[in-house]
Structure 1
Amino acid sequence: MTISIAENVARVFERVHVAELENGRREGEVSVVGISKTFDAQAIIDAVSAGITDIGENRIQEAEMKFPNTIGGFKKHMVGHLQSNKINKALRLFDIIHSVDSLKLAKKIASSGGNGKEFLLEVNTSGEESKFGIKPAETLDMLSEITGATGMTLSGLMTVGPRSTDEGKIRSAFRKLKSLYDDASALNIEGIDMKYLSMGMTNDFEIAIEEGSNMVRIGRAIFGERSIGRIDW
């Protein structure tokens, strides 16, 4: 029996709801971003029709092809690595960019006019060399440097959990980001507005919610298996 995207969305919402209840979170506190990479515009339409209000893509070219053919009515997230030569396109296509990972990139975004957009600082909490993101020890200084040098508002932090089945390693990576999020929230610096703690994907989003995430990025559990793709959302 083929399970529809609508059924998958309902199951994900239920799992998120249970995780919220079990961890003393408010109902609806955790946002679900449907990661639609490699799936077509119709899949996005189906997910949005089922209640998904946030859609994420990790490639500019793919988003350019798909977004014009959808029904709209959803917030668009850039979750992949952002190359400096794609900044202008990204600012036109997306509402929120999860992958600011250097002062140099932030300056280029600011000079391109990022007004009205939201930006998250990407942190590599797993220590894996294959992942993008700044080092945890540099995070608070980087937040201050970016906001001071560019006038940008940074609305949260993002990380990709480790490629591991070791729950201890996964929790450790998420706890690092939650600790940084709390420290950043306490800085009381103009331009640092910690609204989003973006961590958790299909294999680990319930652990992420336990550790404080308020935004999870779900691909396979909503759209099904992919035949291609480098990060297993």
Structure 2
Amino acid sequence: MMTLQENKTKIFNQVAQATIEAGRPQNSVTVVAVTKYVDSEVARALVDIGVTHIGENRVDKFLDKYQALKDYDLTWHLIGTLQRRKVKDVINYVDYFHALDSVKLAAEIQKRAEHPVKCFLQVNISGEESKHGFSPEEVEDALAQMADFDKVELVGLMTMAPIAATEKEIADIFSKTNLLRQQLADKKMKYMPFSELSMGMSGDYKIAIQNGSTFVRIGTSFFK
């Protein structure tokens, strides 16, 4: 078993290499370390070796880690589905929220947030029924309803590929997501820069980087 330091070095090197191979600027991809499988002490060890972006998918785990690591200067990512009734508990600790999947959720964030929260609109490009998120056809109407939400800064899109997808299918989904992001960015809407893409996890982040991802969410590869 490799050490945490060895895994971290390997992941960051592979992300850097994939970025170069994609013909993109160095440091244009941020690694979010997903700590949902480990306790606060392991997360602290990760931070101590230089990881500064921490991702959690459940509100209770997010708050546990946030309290345990509050002495560090970290960027916090909530990456999982967020129930509207829990928004008030967590949203003011969040720097990036990766799973904005309904207008009602956006309205609750607008109501509860004390500062603008960088949000990724979750899109279901694959049409997979088990996935949350807006279909591409629903996006325009949803954005019209969020037009005045100054606490919901739509920095980009987030999507996930189906677990059983082939590399070609994954690339197609990620490519279509980037194309949609570009179309939205070109509209230059207020509070909606759409400059970022949250795509790619331990198994497919290299394909995601090839297709424009700026945030990759990596969990298991740190801890095996």
TM-score of the two chains, using structure 1 as the length reference:
0.90
1:139 corresponds to 2:139? yes
Please state if 1:201 is matched with 2:201: yes
Shift of 1:153: 2.2
SS at match of 2:196: strand
Find the aligned partners of 2:99 and 2:147 in 1 and give their Cα distance: 15
Q: Tell me by how many angstroms 1:126 deviates.
A: 2.0
* Equivalent in the alignment of 2:29: 30
Cα distance, 1:60 vs. partner? 0.5
- 1:109 partner letter: I
Question: 2:56, 2:157 → 1: CA distance?
Answer: 17
1:211 CA drift (Å)? 0.7
Whichever residue aligns with residue 177 of structure 1, its letter is T
1:28 is matched by which residue type in structure 2? Answer: N
Residue of structure 1 equivalent to 2:66: 67
Equivalent in the alignment of 2:17? 18
Instruction: Tell me the equivalent position of 2:118.
Output: 118
Contact kept? 1:103, 1:146, Cα under 8 Å: yes
Give, in whole Å, the separation in 2 of the partners of 1:17 and 1:11: 10
Distance 1:143 1:116 in 2: 16
Aligned-pair identity (%): 34
Q: CA deviation at 1:165?
A: 4.5
Worse-matched range after superposition: 136-145 or 161-170 = 136-145
- 1:210-221 matches, within 5 Å, as 210-221=210-221
**For residue 185 of structure 2, what is the amino acid of its counterpart?**
S
CA distance in 1, matches of 2:216, 2:96: 14
Distance 1:168 1:112 in 2: 41
How far off its partner does 1:4 sit?
1.4
Distance 1:94 1:142 in 2: 22
Question: 1: CA distance between counterparts of 2:178 and 2:40?
Answer: 34
For the aligned residue pairs, the C-alpha RMSD in angstroms reads 1.5
Q: Look up the equivalent residue of 1:39 and give its one-letter code.
A: V
Question: Any stretches of 5+ residues in structure 1 without a counterpart?
Answer: 225-233
What is the DSSP-based 3-state SS (H/G/I as helix, E as strand, rest coil) of the residue aligned with 1:108? Answer: helix
Q: Secondary structure at the match of 1:141?
A: helix
Counterpart code for 2:129: E
Residue in structure 2 matched with residue 58 of structure 1 by the alignment = 57
| 2:125 partner letter | T
Task: Look up the SS of the partner of 2:193 in the other structure.
Answer: strand
Letter in 1 for 2:169: K
User: In the alignment, what sits opposite 1:227?
Assistant: none
Structure 2 residue aligned with 1:161:
161
SS of 2:12 mapped into structure 1: helix
Please tell me whether the aligned partners of residues 63 and 93 of structure 1 are also in contact (alpha carbons under 8 angstroms). Answer: no
Deviation at 1:50, TM superposition (A): 2.2
Question: 1:107 is matched with which residue?
Answer: 107
How many Å separate the matches in 2 of 1:178 and 1:144?
A: 20
What is the DSSP-based 3-state SS (H/G/I as helix, E as strand, rest coil) of the residue aligned with 1:120? strand
Structure-2-length-normalised TM-score: 0.93
Which one-letter code corresponds to 2:11 in the other structure? V
Q: Secondary structure at the match of 1:111?
A: helix
Partner Cα separation in structure 1 for residue 81 and residue 209 of structure 2: 24
1:188 aligned onto 2:188:
yes
Matched residue type, 2:201: M
2:214 alignment partner AA: N
Match of 1:87 in 2: 87
**2: CA distance between counterparts of 1:215 and 1:113?**
23
